[in-house]
Every structure is written in C-alpha cells, then in structure tokens.
C-alpha cells in the first residue's frame, strides 16, 4: 500500500474523471455519478450521461439513487450504537428482541453477531422473492415473519457465509426493540441527522422522489432498455431500502474513518471492519455490515448495492481517509468495474518511479489528452512528473501502459511498452499557433484530439 500523496492523488482523480466519462459512453450506460473524497476534501463530484433518458435529463451529483445493500451498513451502525449504549450485546440471541423467533427451530439461538456477518444460516430472500422483480410489493413485517417461518433456516449457524436480506430485515426489528422507536426514526435521529445527510433516507419518500434518477433494465438479447418504477421496501428497508447521493455517502463513509467519533468509537469500527468471512468464489471478506477487500495491499471497506435499475458501490480506506463512491442507474453491474478501475488508477499513480520524465518540466498541457481515429482511442496522461500512454477502453486502463519521455516540445519517445507495442518509437505532435494540439502520430498512425475527431465527417 502506498501512502497517498496530494499531488499524485489529484492527477489520479483527474484521469479517473476522464476515464469514467469514456467508459459511460463506451458501455452505453444511462448515467453515472462518481464522488471521491480525501480526508475532509471533496476531490471529485460529477455526473455523466443521463438521469432520465426519455426526458433527456442530464445526470448531476445532486441526483438521488437507491443504494440497496448499503442499507446494511446503516443497520450495522445502528446495532453497534445500541451495543455501545448497553441496550444490546453482540452475543445476544436475536430472539431476545423478536420473541416469535423463540418458537422457530434452528432460529431461536442465533445471535445478533451471526446475523450481522451473515453466518446465521438464514435464507437469503425467502421462498417467494419476486418482489425483486417488482411483481409484488416488498414484504411488510407480517409478510417477513411468514417468509422466516416458511423455510427461514437454510444452514446451521457458523457453517458457511450465507448472505441474507431476510436476516437484515430481522435486525431492523431488533433496532426497533432496543431503540424504543421505529427503525426509520432511529436511523434518522442517530445516524442521518448527526451527519447532516440531507439527501439520505431509509426508504422511498417524497423528498427522494423529487430528485431520484430513473433506474433502467439491461439492454440484452435484443430486448430494449426500459425504465423501472420506484417502490418502497417495507420491512426490508434495513436490508435494501436506503436512498442517498454520492456526496452524502462520502460524508457517511468518512464517519467510519478511524479517529472520527461522530457515530461510533474506534473500537466498534474496528470490530465492524474485521474480515470475518470470505465468501466462496470471491476475493472479498465480510465483517459486521461491511465488505472488506484488499487491492494492491490497500485494505478497503465498504459495500455494494443492487436494486432494480440501480447498481452502486462505495469503498473507503479508514486509515488513509479516502472514499470513492460510484452510482449507476443501470442493472448491468458496471459500478464494480468502474470502482476497480478508479482504485487501480489511484494505486498506479502512487507507484514508485525511477525519476521524472526527462525534459517534462511544465509542458504537461502540451502533451496530455485523449486522441482518436477510426481505429480507436488512446490517452496520454501525467502522474506527477511522469507521462504514460493508456487505453481508456480497458476496464483496467493502467494494466497495460507505455512510459513516455520528452525529446523536444513536439516529440515524445516510447521508452517502455508491452511486447507488441511500438517501444523505442516516437510520438510526434502538431500544434496550432495558440499551442493547441491538432494531431499526433503514434507508431506511424495519425490520431486527432477527441474533440477534433468528433467534428470530422464519418467516412462511407
């Protein structure tokens, strides 16, 4: 793990912004919002594409998204607050808070801790989970009880990691019992209001609907993309109901940095961020309400969310105080790809280098940019005093790179490159009288700045 450097982080965020814009267009995503925060500074907050395709409404950072399983982090935070206040213990039986569970074989002795880290063996979504297809409403408290009573136990406790939305619905009931108020009121009073999260709530309401992005299905097998209706989540709000903006999620994640006691003590946060279980066929672990993952030796914490028409992702480094939020109003799962790409860019920017690009000086604007022709697109980007050629088409744009050095004010040399690339060759730049790039020749092939290329007529 590299310690974050402000200048290198700025360069990484600048390139991530341009890369996400390209990916949104290339993957034909309806819309994306990205926010990046370091310590108490918001480095990026930007919308790409559209919040509503039919009405041609551009996406903005102010648009609200359904953030789905991010809700579990709020529920786990509420549970840990109640533990700190002595109203609950992690090894309490869940049935102590929900008396009717005492009568259910296999569920009467499961603990709050086991439900928090998905090791209680509870069914994921119940025997009838077509609320996820919006075929019928999400379950209310009575319907949730019926789902639990009809096949609620699937595995023995502590046998496997067994992700469960139903389990987090039950935890919402435990918050109500120990907190002495409704789940919605508890999280508003004890999490949302203390952080000033003006655009965050536990379930769909009038405030959210006024700025909610439209969620869309995937375009596949010849089926057109279609908009989906907005729905409430009933008793599963504590598992999947929340809405928020990217900036609010940055502020919320920052409250889980070590050293911030607005919501919880560091002891509670460390407990939540412990990688208890590694799900099968996954490179991630699960703590108490949070996913824990390592990327390039950087320990990251957060959660994803999948709701009809929305895929979202938040990751943060609690020690280096970095937060990245990616929100999409599309069901394709692109949020995870975008998140990994952004994190890879940040790590690449911080890799040790042999030294600055020779002759680079203050000429970064003379060389950097996005260049295109009918065959594809390349980027020339600067990280610190080093120049690189990158591929914005790639899901990981820094996996295969070429290192560039400055020969003169119009020429770069490819000094390091993959085996099939143009190592040792020059990239020649042509500038106009104002110093703007008009074209480049890389590997003998002409590229134009993207804005110029897009103005060229398409050849027949």
Residue 105: pLDDT band with limits 50, 70, 90: confident
Q: Are 172 and 183 in contact (CB under 8 A)?
A: yes
Distance (Å, rounded) from C-alpha 448 to C-alpha 453?
A: 5
- Nearest alpha carbon to residue 295 among 285, 281, 280, 304: 285
**Tens digit of pLDDT for each residue in 255-267?**
999 999 999 999 9
* Sign, Cα dihedral of 334, 68, 150, 136: negative
Q: What is the CATH number of domain 364-453?
A: 2.40.128
Judged against a pLDDT cut of 70, whether residue 83 lies above it is answered with yes
Distances in whole angstroms, Cα of residue 202 to Cα of each of 116, 118, 126: 18, 21, 21
DSSP symbol at 193: H
Residue 297: pLDDT band with limits 50, 70, 90: confident
Judged against a pLDDT cut of 70, whether residue 400 lies above it is answered with yes
Judged against a pLDDT cut of 90, whether residue 139 lies above it is answered with yes
Element (H, E) at 148: helix 141-149
- pLDDT at residue 356 in the model: 55
Crossing angle of helices 334-349/6-26, nearest 10°? 150
- Nearest alpha carbon to residue 157 among 124, 98, 125, 109: 109
Judged against a pLDDT cut of 90, whether residue 322 lies above it is answered with yes
Judged against a pLDDT cut of 60, whether residue 318 lies above it is answered with yes
Domain residue extents for the chain? 46-294, 364-453
Judged against a pLDDT cut of 90, whether residue 421 lies above it is answered with no
Q: E strands within 171-264?
A: 215-216, 227-228, 243-244
- pLDDT at residue 361 in the model: 56
- pLDDT at residue 99 in the model: 95
What average pLDDT score do residues 181-201 get?
Answer: 98
- Nearest alpha carbon to residue 290 among 268, 320, 311, 310: 268
Q: Are 215 and 66 in contact (CB under 8 A)?
A: yes
**Tens digit of pLDDT for each residue in 238-251?**
999 999 999 999 99
Residue 306: pLDDT band with limits 50, 70, 90: very high
Judged against a pLDDT cut of 80, whether residue 358 lies above it is answered with no
- pLDDT at residue 292 in the model: 96
**Tens digit of pLDDT for each residue in 328-357?**
999 998 999 999 999 999 999 999 876 555
Q: What count of residues does the chain have?
A: 460
Distance (Å, rounded) from C-alpha 395 to C-alpha 343?
A: 11
- pLDDT at residue 220 in the model: 85
Topology of domain 46-294 in CATH is: Beta-lactamase (3.40.710)
- pLDDT at residue 296 in the model: 82
What average pLDDT score do residues 165-191 get?
Answer: 98
- pLDDT at residue 445 in the model: 95
**Number of separate helices (H) and strands (E) present in the chain:** 14, 20
Q: Are 348 and 400 in contact (CB under 8 A)?
A: no
Residue 95: pLDDT band with limits 50, 70, 90: very high
What average pLDDT score do residues 170-174 get?
Answer: 98
Least trusted range by pLDDT, from 19-28, 145-154, 341-350, 450-459: 450-459
Average pLDDT value over all residues in the chain: 94
Least trusted range by pLDDT, from 306-315, 368-377, 384-393, 412-421: 412-421
Judged against a pLDDT cut of 60, whether residue 359 lies above it is answered with no
């Amino acid at each position: 793990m590299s310690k974050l450097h402000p200048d290198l982080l700025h360069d990484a965020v600048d390139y991530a912004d341009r890369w996400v814009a390209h990916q949104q267009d290339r993957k034909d995503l309806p819309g994306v919002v990205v926010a990046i925060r370091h310590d108490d500074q918001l480095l990026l907050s930007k919308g790409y594409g559209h919040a509503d395709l039919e009405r041609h409404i551009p996406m903005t950072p102010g648009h609200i998204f359904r953030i789905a399983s991010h809700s579990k982090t709020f529920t786990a935070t509420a549970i840990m607050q109640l533990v700190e206040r002595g109203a609950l213990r992690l090894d309490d039986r869940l049935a102590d808070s929900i008396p009717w569970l005492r009568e259910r074989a296999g569920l009467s002795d499961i603990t709050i801790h086991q439900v928090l880290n998905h090791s209680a063996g509870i069914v994921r979504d119940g025997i009838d989970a077509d609320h996820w297809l919006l075929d019928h409403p999400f379950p209310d408290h009575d319907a949730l009880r019926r789902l639990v009573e009809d096949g609620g136990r699937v595995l023995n406790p502590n046998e496997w990691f067994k992700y469960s939305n139903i389990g987090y619905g039950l935890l919402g009931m435990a918050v109500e019992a120990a907190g002495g108020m409704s789940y919605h009121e508890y999280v508003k009073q004890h999490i949302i209001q203390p952080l000033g999260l003006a655009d965050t709530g536990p379930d769909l309401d009038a405030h959210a609907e006024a700025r909610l992005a439209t969620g869309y299905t995937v375009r596949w097998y010849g089926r057109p993309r279609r908009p989906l209706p907005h729905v409430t989540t009933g008793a599963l709000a504590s598992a999947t109901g929340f809405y928020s903006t990217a900036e609010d999620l940055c502020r919320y994640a920052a409250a889980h940095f070590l050293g911030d006691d607005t919501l919880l003590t560091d002891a509670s946060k460390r407990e939540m961020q412990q990688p208890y279980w590694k799900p099968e066929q996954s490179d991630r672990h699960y703590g108490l309400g949070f996913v824990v993952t390592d990327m390039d030796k950087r320990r990251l914490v957060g959660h994803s969310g999948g709701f009809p028409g929305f895929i979202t992702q938040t990751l943060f480094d609690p020690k280096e105080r970095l937060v990245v939020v990616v929100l999409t109003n599309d069901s394709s799962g692109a949020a995870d790809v975008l998140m990994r790409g952004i994190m890879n860019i940040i790590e690449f920017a911080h890799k040790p280098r042999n030294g600055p690009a020779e002759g680079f000086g203050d000429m970064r604007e003379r060389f950097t940019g996005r260049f295109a022709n009918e065959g594809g697109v390349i980027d020339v980007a600067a990280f610190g005093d080093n120049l690189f050629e990158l591929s914005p088409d790639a899901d990981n744009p820094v996996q295969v790179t070429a290192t560039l050095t400055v020969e003169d004010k119009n020429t770069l040399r490819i000094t390091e490159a993959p085996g099939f690339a143009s190592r040792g060759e020059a990239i020649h730049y042509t500038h106009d009288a104002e110093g703007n790039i008009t074209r480049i020749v890389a590997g003998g092939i002409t590229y134009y700045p993207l804005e110029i290329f897009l103005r060229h007529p398409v050849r027949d």
